[in-house]
Amino acid sequence: MAKDGFGKDPERDFRELLDSSPDCVLVTDYDTHRYLYVNHTSCVMTGYGLQELLSMHVSELTLQSEAEIRETYERARQAGERGYTEEPQLLLSKDRSRRGWWESNLRFKVIGGQEVIVIVSREVTPRILAERAASRATKIYAALSSANEAIIHSSSSEELFQAVCDAAIESGGMTTAAMLMPAPGSDLMELQAMAGKGRDTMEVAVISTDPQRPEGRGLIGKAFRTGKPSITDDYLQDTRTTHWHTLVRDRTQIRSAASVPIIRHGRSVGALYLCSRERRAFDEEIIGLLVRMAGNLSFALQNFEHEEKRREAEERAHYLATHCGLTGLPNRNLLTDLLGQAIASVGRTGHRPAIMFIDLDRFKEINDAWGHDTGDGVLQKTSGRLREVLREHDVLARLGGDEFVVLVQNIDHQDHAVRVAEKLLAASKEPVVVEGQPFTVTLSIGISLYPEHGIHPTDLMKAADLAMYVAKDKGKATWALSGEGRPQAIQ
């Protein structure tokens, strides 16, 4: 054995050296694009035999066009000794059992007077997958950030759900994003918001939470039931999604999908559903980020609920401060505000308001004889009947006890106010029935007009109050106009 260099057959030794390389080494003719040499690794990785490869055209293996090959070879020639490195390509073996990403370096050489391209191709699948996973994670981080910003700025769950779906598409790189929640009293999931492709599919797809139904065995139903993410890396081959294969196959390009439950108080209240064109798009890191997103959504829903309760309490407090608890009519505070607004608008509209003070005649007798519960019923029935007589924009208010006030809008003449008073008196002639007992309640009405009897709310209210006592003292069941010393008879 020689001490230096190769043995007695250097060419054979050199071939064995190349065959032992983990990289594919191939030599092609520069002009014909035919393989002149391939090492053993090339045969193993491609699944083709040596003679098969040596009889092949480069385009048959790489699936590139003649024009693409010529352009690549020319770049290698221009690159000189440093060679030209192609972008990684996804290649399949002969029997399609092996699939991976390969990065090739091409160098132009003249060997024995023949122009050739020497190709050293290395599998970079782990690197490409890692880069893609990192890219996906970066996009989901961006989507998470956008979702968190939406939580801050959204004023409703509907607005938030749509913002999250939009973020998953625009920042997260997803193909489809949807938010679903169960319909009240049903096992069916309803679409709350969506972005991306497949809207026509999502709108007609039946999705259930019931595992006994085929519609409930998919990713969304399982995630909702278990409270854990549900994932598929091959949607159209997954038996859990069989029910939707026909619907999805011709309409979308789903490769992988995931559903993440929205948990509140330890139970599922909804599900975030995402689809991607890429296989294995939902690795452990991505799912972790989506779970964080779902947790933030749950927190936002809790805040919306607290805000809704606070707003309802505030509205209730305002209602109680401005309305009668028994009849639901405006009280003195609200009536004063509305009268002030009516007076302020006179200069703009030319329509004047009138005030009518109403007292229920002999109501105290009913209260004393039949009790407060019956008395309250009479007040409620009477107020409802008076409200029916008035126009929609007139205001009936209760000041307390058996005292009511009507703010009549748009009075152009005194006779208009009188006609309203007569309608109210006519309505009171029919008895109201409370717990099967009829009660006839007549009215005493005092009328004041703007501006004849006052230009301020307090002046008008006082004038109408005094006129009401005139009507009551002069026989009841009638009306009186402010400033008159005797009641006006009903014509």
250 is catalytic: no
Radius of gyration, alpha carbons of the chain: 43
CATH number assigned to the domain with residue range 332-481, chosen from the 4 options 3.40.50.300, 3.30.460.10, 2.40.10.120, 3.30.70.270? 3.30.70.270
Fold of 10-123: Beta-Lactamase (3.30.450)
Q: How far apart are CA 104 and CA 255, in angstroms?
A: 28
The H or E element spanning position 144 is: helix 125-153
The H or E element spanning position 466 is: helix 457-473
Q: How far apart are CA 409 and CA 393, in angstroms?
A: 7
CA distance readout (Å), 251 to 194, 202, 254: 16, 11, 9
Spans of the chain, pLDDT less than 70? 1-8, 250-252, 485-491
The tens digit of pLDDT for each residue in 426-439 reads 999 899 999 999 99
Q: Which residues are bridge partners to 397 per DSSP? A: 405
| CATH 3.30.450.40 intervals, the chain | 129-307
Nearest alpha-carbon partner for 92 in 83, 84, 102: 102
Catalytic residue among 166, 361, 402, 465: 402
| CATH 3.30.70.270 intervals, the chain | 332-481
**pLDDT value of residue 460:** 94
Q: Give phi and psi for 26, each to the nearest 5.
A: -135, 145
Q: State both tokens at 124.
A: 């970079």
CATH number assigned to the domain with residue range 129-307, chosen from the 4 options 3.40.50.720, 3.40.50.2300, 3.30.70.370, 3.30.450.40? 3.30.450.40
**pLDDT value of residue 279:** 82
| CATH 3.30.450.20 intervals, the chain | 10-123
Under the phi-then-psi rule, with left for phi > 0, alpha for psi from -120 to 50, and beta for the rest, what region is 113?
left
pTM of the model: 0.59
